[in-house]
Amino acid sequence: MRSEQSENSNSKNGPCLDDDQAMLSPMKARDFRTNQPETPRRHWVRGDPFASAFFNALSAVFPAGEAFMIRSIKPWHKNTPPQLSADIRQFVEQEAGHSREHDVMNDSLTAAGYDIEPLQQVIRNFVGCFENSSAQTRLCATMCIEHLTAIVAAEVMDKDHHLQDSDYGLRELWLWHAVEEIEHKSVAFDAWQYAVRDWSGPRRYAVRTAFLTLITISFLINRTRGQMELLRQDGFGFWKSLTGLIRSGFGKGGIGRNSIRPWLSFFRPGFHPWNIDDRHLIEKGETRLAQMKAGRAQAEPSLPNAAKIRGLLKPPDKGSGGNQLRVIGQ
Ligand SMILES: [Fe+2]
Ligand SMILES: [Fe+2]
């Protein structure tokens, strides 16, 4: 494990990976194509509007967010040591795949009746703030976003209940994305550490922790706004949306609540993403994906509650102003 001393030392050779980290298996961009749901549903996670809103709001902003990260990290592959350069190329390939497949998911959200343009405008504004920033600043922002995505991916992969009884094809998409987020979680961190290798340790620590704080505040505000916009389109009122989201995200077993501790680990001096050794989750995800691929045809009809949930919910009529989801047949 890296120690406080590692951040306080000035490595001229770039990121300091310890022996365990150096033994990580090489990354690979997996060939994956999303199976768009036959009948796109708004609440594809257990029919739960709040759990679904979390994943839907993230998906809406992924393509623009990931394109920003690709633009931010790609130039560094020419200026970094060979292994890091190879990792950056894999990172770019993986993120490009995520953008492509989340575009497919976003099409299904649109087909289900959502207008996701307001959410996409917010992410365009956010990345627009960095367009005139230095290459190091954009890389720092990428590093911090990657910490958030890595801890959420690990939580989703670790606790099966988050995607329990969800649409089969979309569950595959999120598991695949989570596997690759965990796999490449240190690339932007290592690239930034290399980019600022001439800085003092305390300066690196101060900048990365300040950035993570700002990026997290922005993430919490903007993704909450995004979820509330989707819930508004479902017909939920402001307070019902807000309290539902807080309960869903920060109640017992919530993704936000379970992510607090790994989020805080970034503030440890000498932190490196692989200090949290969750390589077993990559293996778990790959095994689960292989099982799902093999059993897709037979498994979907027998998923618990799938028949009950599928097609039951549909969006309220525009202009109805009602707060209730309409249930077909009622
Ligand atoms: Fe991604
Ligand atoms: Fe990523």
Per-residue pLDDT of the chain (330 residues), as tens digits, is 333 334 644 443 344 444 444 446 678 889 889 887 777 899 999 999 999 999 999 999 999 999 999 999 999 999 899 999 999 999 999 999 999 999 999 999 999 999 999 999 999 999 999 988 999 999 999 999 999 999 999 999 999 999 999 998 999 999 999 999 999 999 999 999 999 999 999 999 999 999 999 999 999 999 999 999 999 999 999 999 999 999 999 999 999 999 999 999 999 999 999 999 999 999 999 999 999 888 876 655 544 443 333 333 344 343 333 323 222 222
Helix (H) / strand (E) containing 178: helix 168-183
Contact 150, 273 (CB under 8 A): yes
Rg from Cα positions in the chain: 20
Ligand 1 centroid from CA 121, angstroms: 19
pLDDT at 28: 87
Per-chain residues with Cβ under 5 A from ion ligand 2 = 181
Ligand 1 centroid from CA 184, angstroms: 9
Q: Which ligand is nearest to the CA of 146?
A: 2
Dump strand ranges (E) for 99-245.
none
Q: Which of 253, 270, 271 is nearest to 262 (CA)?
A: 271
Chain-centroid distance, C-alpha 160: 16
Q: How far apart are the first and last CA of the chain?
A: 58
The amino acid occupying position 55 is F
Let me know the angle formed at the C-alpha of 253 by 248 and 254, rounded to the nearest 5 degrees: 35
pLDDT at 322: 31
pLDDT at 7: 64
Rounded (10°) CA dihedral 283, 285, 291, 295: -170
Per-chain residues with Cβ under 5 A from ion ligand 1 = 95, 98
Ligand 1 centroid from CA 281, angstroms: 16
> Is residue 5 classed exposed, middle or buried when 0-12, 13-18 and 19+ CB atoms within 10 A define those classes?
exposed
